[in-house]
Amino acid sequence: MALLCLALLVAICPMCAGETGAEGWLRHNDLKTGSLPTLVAAVGSSNVVRTAANELAHALGNRPKAEGVAAQLPAKDAFVLGTWKDILALFPDLPAARLPAGDGFWLRTVRSHGAKYWLVIGRTDRGVLYGTFSLLARIAQQKDVTTLEDVQTPSAPIRWVSEWDNLDGSIERGYAGRSIFFDNGAVRTDLTRVAQYGRLLASIEINGCAINNVNASPRIVAPEFIPQLARIADAFRPWGIKLAVSVDMSSPMVVGGLKTFDPLDPQVAAWWQRTADEIYKQIPDFGGFVVKADSEDRSGPSQYGRTASDAANVIARALKPHHGILMYRAFVYNHHLDWRDMKADRARAAYDYFHPLDGKFEDNVVIQIKYGPIDFQVREPASPLFGAMPNTSQAIELQVTQEYTGQQRHLVFLAPMWKEILDFDEHVGTAVVGRRSSVVGKTPVKDIVSGKVWHQPLGGFNAVVNVGLDENWLAHPLAMANLYGYGRLAWNPNLSAEVISEEWARLTFGNNPQVVLTISKMLLSSWHIYESYTGPLGAGTLTDILGDHYGPGVESSERNGWGQWHRADEHGMGMDRTVATGTGFIGQYSPEVQKKYETLAACPDELLLFMHHVPYTYVLHSGKTVIQHIYDSHYDGAEQAAELVTQWQSVKGQIDDERYEDVLKRLRYQAGHAIVWRDAVVNWFFKTSGIRDEKGRVQAGSVWGQPALGCPVERS
Ligand code: GCW
């Protein structure tokens, strides 16, 4: 029995000076450890279990006093960490029935040999690590851990993050500095930050990371690059993070020198097989590939008249002998749509392409579906595709990087939005015809992507994070709540946004109740605030979609092929996606959901303009007209953005000055930018509709700050 014992020198550091945010929620500096053991014992020889023991020892004891290998468990109070088979050898009376599945863990206190033990048991070594972080988080939140009996099982096997890093070190849609992985066409020499990122990810139970842009350079799988990838895998391995990469479909040609990348060509299949074999030779625990194909000018199977399943399967078969998985993205659409065609609709694309292919994928293929049918907008309905592939494993794709939601210059805590999507009932219990038609009861997105609804072997979550070299990872100190919230929801999508925000605030800023309350409140209100001063009633973000996706650009969505249309003109606004008169998108949902969206009477206000085209004078369920809602929400939103500054000022002196000043500066900027948003949007709608604001705030003369020249004639 290998037993590594670490004795702790308990030294508590109160509020540490010089907070940089580098530690994220793992600061371990508000711990009350008086009644806890001062010994940590790691059982077995797993490196991941050793990582867990070291983390616990360093967190609780600052620096372990002594390390040594013991032959048996000391008869002294201790934390005892290990996988089930190792722990059972020491504690044979433990009931096996309690053991969690997958990467789950079991925390339990027991008395034996005259001592008390805090057991951290995993079915896998990852489970031990997750249990350890969970225990530490409880201690850091000053929860009582004197008696423990808690079993936790992850919702889904795939809990990944994606980074859109390019090999030159830039990051597509990254807002926190350059890549921690690459520089100048190669993997960085110093991978310290990668290991630190692995620690952060493991603490929120993430088990895979796809490190490069989905707009992938084929070079990522070139023979000379694979040893470099192996170095990244080495940095992640102690934290139980599997390395994955995004691959380009044309790699067999570009890297392999073949004349084709036709997925049905045997030479192409052989090339993928050789490539996968070589990767696994150097990285035996490699996670798999992510693929973006036939989308936004990427190469894809359509170039050979082949389908997404042909493309996915040729790669998946190469990965299968090694237990690798293929995440194939459903973000496939035509960005040269005819904007004059009132039946054309980008929102339909994912369903139209993938639904007919249901059941045609290898069982290690997972279809990765963006949460909404368009593209990470501030408000979208849940994608109908989740409800339409009963014979295929699925994953939901979320965005921690705030591409359309303020790019980490605005505070937008996204967990409440993700919750709405994950809890959304696709009502496919009885609607699905086929071999899995027996499902009854609720079928929320979270149970579909976890594989529960249709008993799929795989499934889960992948979020685009795009951390950078900025010391605090995501630039805005409060944006880290999104990464934390993502991991927590991937582990357990039944957690509430309230619980997550409180946990994060405690771990990140300490346990002062007023600080925790204030920060939680700010986080929980922030999505709605951002939505209020940007995009109304499901119309999209109204941002500049042709440029950097930041700041107002109402016109940029229209009269081009990108299909992010809101169709606002002088009479009204919104996309008619009804079955009766529109694009038919609503018909992609189950009959129950169709009932909710198809009629104006039933459609919820917040998605009205996503589903219907209405005149500005249309009266919402709220009793307001659409135009007055646009005016009011933008004024309210900007006002609330200003209030975020005041709320933050109430924590001055109660947290460290560094992070206080950093956040304050950003919130002030946000409040100013919210006014820019407000004025741009309300003036555009006033100018276009000619309908005055009943509260008289939108002035004819204030259009774009120009003198009254050329102002619209008011219509009321
Ligand atoms: O939202 C869009 C982004 C692109 C991105 C694409 C995708 C990586 O603007 O930058 O490309 O989505 O998800 O593939």
Radius of gyration of the chain measured on its C-alpha atoms: 26
Ligand 1 interacting residues, C-beta cut-off 6 A: 164, 172-173, 213-215, 292, 331, 375-376, 403
Question: What is the pLDDT, as a whole number, of residue 513?
Answer: 98
Contacts with 657 (C-beta within 8 Å, 6 or more apart), sequence order: none
Q: What is the pLDDT of residues 157-185, one digit of tens each?
A: 999 999 999 999 999 999 999 999 999 99
Using CA atoms, how far apart are residues 437 and 422, in angstroms rounded to an integer? 21
Cα–Cα dist 611/601, whole Å: 12
If you take atom 11 of ligand 1, which residue's CA is the nearest one? 215
pTM assigned to the model: 0.95
| H-helix segments, 70-161 | 84-90, 125-140
Question: What contacts 669, CB < 8 A, 6 or more positions away?
Answer: 409
- Atom 3, ligand 1: which residue's CA is nearest? 173
- What separation in Å is there between the alpha carbon of 381 and the centre of ligand 1? 19
Kindly give the number of the ligand 1 atom that is closest to the alpha carbon of 292: 14
Q: Which residue owns the Cα nearest ligand 1 atom 2?
A: 375
What is the whole-number distance in angstroms between the Cα of residue 680 and the centre of ligand 1?
25
Distance 229 CA to ligand 1 centre (A): 24
Share above pLDDT 90 across residues of the chain, in percent, rounded to a whole number: 89
Give the mean pLDDT of the chain: 93
Q: Are 532 and 605 in contact (CB under 8 A)?
A: no
| Ligand 1, atom nearest to 164 Cα | 8
| Mean pLDDT on 572-584 | 98
Find, among 574, 584, 583, the residue nearest to 542 by Cα: 574
Pocket test of ligand 1: the residue of 299, 331, 371 to mutate, having most ligand atoms within 8 Å of its CB, is: 331
Active-site residue set? 296, 375, 403
Mean pLDDT of 558-562: 95
Q: With beta carbons less than 8 A apart as the criterion, state whether 520 and 498 touch.
A: yes
Q: Please write the tens of the pLDDT for every residue from 292-306.
A: 999 999 999 999 999
Report residue 13's pLDDT band, with 50, 70 and 90 as the boundaries. Answer: very low
CA distances (Å), origin 440, targets 17, 208, 347: 55, 32, 28
Q: Is residue 135 pLDDT above 90, yes or no?
A: yes
Atom of ligand 1 nearest to the CA of 549: 9
54-63, 461-470, 623-632: segment of lowest average pLDDT: 54-63
The model's pLDDT over 454-500, given as tens digits with 9 standing for 90+, comes to 999 999 999 999 999 999 999 999 999 999 999 999 999 999 999 99
Average pLDDT in the 677-681 region?
97
Question: Is residue 236 over pLDDT 90?
Answer: yes
* Residue whose CB lies within 8 A of the most ligand 1 atoms, among 297, 375, 550, for a mutation test: 375
Q: How confident is the model at residue 63 (pLDDT cuts 50, 70, 90)?
A: low
What is the pLDDT averaged over residues 691-713? 64
At 593-617, the pLDDT tens digits run 999 999 999 999 999 999 999 999 9
8 Å CB contact between 91 and 112:
yes
d(CA 175, ligand 1 centre) in Å: 14
What would the two tokens of residue 716 be?
């009321």
> Rounded to the nearest whole angstrom, what is the distance from the C-alpha of residue 164 to the centroid of ligand 1?
9
